[in-house]
Each structure stands twice: as C-alpha cells, then as structure tokens.
A and B are shown apart, each in its own frame.
Chain A
C-alpha cells in the first residue's frame, strides 16, 4: 500500500499543471470555474502531498542514502555512453516540503479569490489568467521538491522563474507618476534577470558535477565513494571539485533565495499582486534556494572545513543583518516584509553554512507558514485600505491631506497612510499580530523554537566547534550578526504593527477600511494556528524534525549533533526580541503618530537615508553593471549599425536595384511584354474581323447552311458525273 502511494509521486506536480492547462485552454472565460479548477488541482496535490509526508515519516530509517528514498523513475535520456535517468523521489526532506508547500499554496489560492475581487465590480480583468499562473507556479515548486536529479530540478526551477516573472509583472499596464518608482513590468524583468545570474552559476556547477561524476541523480552523486572522489580530486591548486561545484550551485540558491549580492529583486517583486508576494516571494519560491542547499548538503560537507561552508555562512549571516537594517527604514508594508523575508532566508542559509542542517529546515518550514500569514495579512490590509480609499468621502482628511505618496497619488501600501486598523479589521489585525510574534521569536510561537535552534547551533559551534570543520570564529560571527538581526527584526516588526494597527487612522482611507471577505480571513486564521503550534514539534526536548531529517545529513560517516536547549542563548534572544518590541513601542506605540513623518528620520539623520535607500546597492549596480552594459550595447550597436551591417545591407540593396533595372530594360520590356501584348493584339484583330459574320439574324445563318448544302450537292454531282444519268433513268423509268 505504501509503495502504491509513493509510485503516485509524479501526480503531485501534474495536478496543478493540469489545472493550468485546463484554465488556459478551456475555462478561462468562466471565472468561477477557473477558480475551482485551480483549487481542485492544488487540493488534490495537497492531499497526496500530506499522505506522502505521513508515509515518509513512518519509515524514516529505510529512506537512505540521502536523496534516495522511493525513486519513481520517469524516463532516461541516452547521452552517448551513459543514460541520464530522470525521475521523482520522496524522502523525508521532500516529505517535509510536501507538508508545507501544497498546504500554504492552497491557503493562498483560496485567499486569492477574495483578493482579486471575485464577484465584485472591480474584479481583476485578468482574473482567470492569475489562477492559471499560480497553478503553473505550484507545479514548478512541487516538481522541484520531488525531483531526484539536477535536470528536472533545474527545469522546475526555471518554470518557477518564468511564473515569477509573469506574476510580478501581472499588472504590467500599471505606471506611476513618480518616474523613479519601479513599475511591475520593470520589476518582473529585474527579478528575471537577477535570478538568471544565479541560475547561470548553478548550471555551471551542474555541468561540472556531470563532467566529474557522469551522473546528475542525487542518490548517485551522494554515494560515499563519489563524494570522496569529488573531495580529493582538485579542479586547480588546492580547490577540490566538491568545493567548486558546491559554491557554484550555491550561486543558484543566492539568486533564488534573494541573498546578498543578488537580493535586489525581491523587494521590487512586491509590485505583483499580494497573494503572489505571499506565495512566491515568502513561502515557497524563495525557499527553493534554501531547499536546494539542503538537498545538496552532502556535497557541501564533502570537504572537511572547506571554503564553501564559510561562503554560505558569511553570505547568510550578512544578508540577514543587511536586510533587517534596511527593513527598519521602509514605509511600504510589503517591502518591510520583503526585507524581513530576505533576512529570515539569511538565517537559514547561515545555519546551513554552520552545518546546522535540521535547524535550517525547521526554520524554513515555520517561516513559510508565518511569513505567508504576514503577507496575506498585509494584502488584506492593503485591500481594505484601497477599498476604504474608494469609499471615503472626497474631501481631504482632517489631519494631513490625501496620502503620503507622490503628488496626490494615493499609495495603499504606505504604512504612513494607515493606523488604527485593528478596530476596523480585527481578524486581519490579530492574525497579523500572531504572525509578528512568531516572526520575532516570542515564546511559544513557532519562530521562537526555530530561530532559537539556529542561534543555539551557532553558539555551540562557537563554544565546541562545528561538525564539518567549521571554525569557531564563524560560529561567533554568525551568532552575533543573527542576534543583531533578531533585535532589528523585533524592532521593525513592532514598528509595522504600531504604525498599521495601533493609534488612530491617519487618512480617510484607513478610517473607512472594511474587513476583508471570509475567503481571505479564513486562510489567515488557519495559518495563524499553524504559526502558533508548529514550533512545538521542534522543541529541543522532542525534536520531530531531527528525527525526520537528521539522518539526511549523515554522510561520510558523520552524524550531526542533536540541537540542545541552551538557556543562555534562549534567554539572550528572548531578551533581544523583547527589547526590540520595547524600542518600537517607545517610538511608535506610546505616542501614536498623528502625522505621516517617521521620528526615526530626524533621529538617525544620514543613517536613515542610507537605510532608506537600501545601502545604495541598486545605485551601485546601476553604476557598475547596468550603465556599462548599456554603454557597451550602445557601442556595439553603433559599430554594427553604422560601420558594418548598414553599409553591407545598403550595398546589397543598391546592387539588387541596379540589376533589376537592367533586367527590366533588357529582357522584360522587349521579350516578355512583347509576347504578351502580341498575343492580345492578334486576338483582338481576329475578333474584330470575325465579328462581321455574326449578324444575329437567324435567317442569315440558315441561308449559309442552305448554300453550303447546295454547294456540297453540286460537288457531289460533279464528282459522280457519269453515274447520275443512270439514277435519272431509274427515276424516270
């Protein structure tokens, strides 16, 4: 029976794919039907996903080696000497992802119906297309987690990249009055191109792996002898192949999971519809990068103390810190969450860099739930404020005119335009607060347990040394940066809560914001329940996650340590989180803002501007990469167009014209034209001549016939001269 279900693995990505095809080909004119098709597609995937999750949890110990549980081969591609075997598989790591991905997707699908204004006047004109895209996206994510090799993984990875592009640019016709503000179309392009850099690195890593091992299937690469060969043969100098490939593959994760230096696309991805931000840019797609590192973890730890782990740990910790500082100075409610996502993904990446495999995956799962909750909550808030804006009376609000956005353009995302929404939108508000508590790691919400496990692991590396030759210094570095990030996380989350929900409304729109429809609030409630209880499955005393996936990292004869409860670390992080909330309360909560001016702006001065402009990373890229690229393209264009291509094309054109002129004079006019005209003229002359005989008088024709008969008779008589007298004799006779 178990085997039966595992053999159905291939159906999981197929359900949403079928939904996508159905909507695109047949049902797109019917909005309700499209909604249901998408819901049923993801719903079936969810049921099967959870079945497989529970089944894989039951037989943890038979699912070895890493990446080798329950293969479902699909087909093989002959590559000359070997066969490239492609297929799906379910092991416990995949099982955990199947627990999280389809369920969160389902919640978001349900939420989308309300968010895209189904059944209202302002329903999105591309409503059905939206459900088609998110179905295809779900297919990409589900296919990615069940892949048992790099090839299908890359295919589904790119499917998600495509969907990300399509969905970020979903409102591609939107434009803003402020020319500096990025439009959805540009944001989609930016996301696509930025992640492409990482994808190129990842592809290079894959190809190198293939050239070294001759296979791209996980369970074959992660064999001990294969890993050993990779770790002991050198690409050049002292760099083993394992290190090189691991770093290149990590490049893909950096792009997809929006880690520094490729993090710039994620905040701009908030231009897409909010369910997309929740689905792609918080819960699922960005965790694909973390999942990739977790999946290929044996490769990362193949070399004892290699630079690859240091790179991963540094990037993760630095990103976590960088993004949390930027989030402090953002006013867009979704951008704050976007930076928070980058920061939390940094936590996971840093944990993986320290070898804290279980903690990273644990945080990945809990984060998906509470970040989806926060994003959907923010979407609900934006939706409410937008509708409030439409329903508000037209006279300007008593406090500060209409909005804080640029020149009279109302920005429903701007937290400065909100305030006091807890009373207007209680369900959204309270679930949002639960998500915020989980995010900031307050006991006993999910974030406390998962984040604390990462910090405890970092501290243990610092005090006892890591398992995979990770040096103690890295442990301290990571712990310090992550703790600082935790403080900032609590601060910006508190700031967000107080600015959005506390105090009094700062605009008419906020004062008239209605609570969202039940199809939007129910997913919030369910996700809030998960965000509350999920951490209890990963407490240091009874860590189900360790039991499930601990063995996945046990390669080359090494076990990973059991995360133990460290009261010092837990105490420090709780203290840090609480002080973050306290600072936020002191600034924004004690005296709620009445005017849309952030007190931090004055207090921090240039530092605030530095953070507000995101450390000027975008400007740096603009100057270092984009402008030179454009200049180079322009130079190439000038060279091609003015010096090489244009003259050649012109010369060919001129020669062609001269040749045809000549042909026309020498051949066409005298020969062809002459023949054609001649035939016509002869026919016309002949017709003119013969016309005279056709009088139309029937008696003329008859006369001609009679004369002809007489003539023929005369001819007959002349021919038979000498015999006709005999006839005459006979007649008379």
Chain B
C-alpha cells in the first residue's frame, strides 16, 4: 500500500517544529545548529513527498536533485556554523548564545 501524502507532511511538520523548538530554546550554539539541520531535513521530506505524490514533476529527477542540493547546502552551512562556533569559543571561552550579545550597544 502506498503511504498517503499527509503522513509525510505530518512527519515533516513535526520534525520542523522539533527543530524550531530546539533552535529557539537551546542555549548551546551546537544544539542550535543541530536544530537547524532538523528543520532543513523536514523540508527535504516535504520536497520528496510532493515530488512523489504531485502531478507536475512526475517522471523527472527534480525532487531528488532539489533534496541533494539542500543536503549540500546544509553541509556547507554546518561547516561554516561550526567554524563560527569554534571562533566564538576561542574568543569568549563559551558557546552559550545568551552570553554572545556583544552586538548590542
């Protein structure tokens, strides 16, 4: 049997909300990055589900390519984000984002 589209969307929405919650509530910068990854993967699930169930892109590779591009971007984003976290850690000896508020006056 075929899994209906709404299941995918519910899983993706749940995943996105978990990720958003993590981003908004965690104080550790690395945990925030992990939340961001979750959100990106939720998007991936959505993309592939719509590709599989939609009419427009059926028979092409568009959905998969899209997902791979998102994964690539997510990897790059993770690399840049971790580099930033390391730089902050070196400068401030902490990765707690609440303490990194020097930009305000």
Contact = CB atoms under 8 A, between A and B. Distances in A.
A694 B23 contact: no
Interface in B1-31: 4-6, 9, 20, 23-25
A694 B97 CA distance: 15
B97 A698 contact: yes
Interface stretch (A93-101, A161-169, A699-707): A699-707
A691 B105 CA distance: 8
Greatest chain B CB density within 10 A among A694, A697, A703 is at: A697
A731 B24 contact: no
A732 interface: yes
A660 B4 CA distance: 87
B98 interface: yes
Contact of A695 (B5, B23, B25, B101): B101
Nearest to B25: A699
A695 B104 contact: yes
A696 B103 contact: yes
Contacts of B4: 732
A731 to B, nearest CB: 5
Interface residues of A, number: 12
B74 to A, nearest CB: 17
B12 to A, nearest CB: 12
B29 to A, nearest CB: 9
A731 B5 contact: yes
Given A696-B102, A696-B104, A697-B101, A731 B20 contact: no
A698 B35 CA distance: 14
A691 B102 CA distance: 14
B100 interface: yes
Interface in A718-733: 731-732
B5 A694 contact: no
Contacts of A706: 20, 24
A703 B24 contact: yes
A732 B6 CA distance: 6
Nearest to A699: B24
Contacts of B6: 731-732
Contacts of A698: 97, 100
Contact of A702 (B23, B98, B102): B23
Contacts of A695: 101, 104
A706 B19 CA distance: 12
A697 B98 contact: yes
Given A731-B6, A731-B9, A694 B105 contact: yes
Greatest chain B CB density within 10 A among A691, A694, A698, A732 is at: A698
Nearest to A709: B20
A698 B101 CA distance: 8
Contacts of B32: 699
B24 A702 contact: yes
Contacts of A694: 104-105
Interface string B26-55: 000000100000000000000000000000
Nearest to A731: B6
A699 B104 contact: no
A727 to B, nearest CB: 11
B14 to A, nearest CB: 15
Nearest to B100: A698
B20 to A, nearest CB: 6
Contacts of B103: 696
Nearest to B98: A697
Contacts of A731: 5-6, 9
Contacts of B5: 731
Interface string B70-105: 000000000000000000000000000110111111
A731 B100 CA distance: 43
A731 B50 CA distance: 11
A209 B86 CA distance: 101
Contacts of B24: 699, 702-703, 706
B89 to A, nearest CB: 16
B42 to A, nearest CB: 14
Contacts of A702: 23-24
A702 B100 CA distance: 15
Nearest to B10: A731
A697 B25 CA distance: 12
Nearest to B4: A732
Given A702-B23, A703-B24, A732-B4, A696 B101 contact: yes
A230 B24 CA distance: 116
A698 B98 CA distance: 8
A444 B25 CA distance: 127
A695 B105 CA distance: 9
Nearest to A732: B6
A731 B49 CA distance: 11
A713 to B, nearest CB: 12
Sorted nearest first, the 3 A-B pairs with minimum C-beta distance are A696-B101, A696-B104, A731-B6
20 contacts: A694-B104, A694-B105, A695-B101, A696-B104, A697-B97, A697-B98, A697-B101, A699-B23, A699-B24, A699-B25, A699-B97, A699-B98, A702-B23, A702-B24, A703-B24, A706-B24, A731-B6, A731-B9, A732-B4, A732-B6
Given A697-B98, A697-B101, 9 more contacts: A694-B105, A695-B104, A696-B103, A696-B104, A697-B97, A699-B23, A699-B97, A731-B5, A731-B9
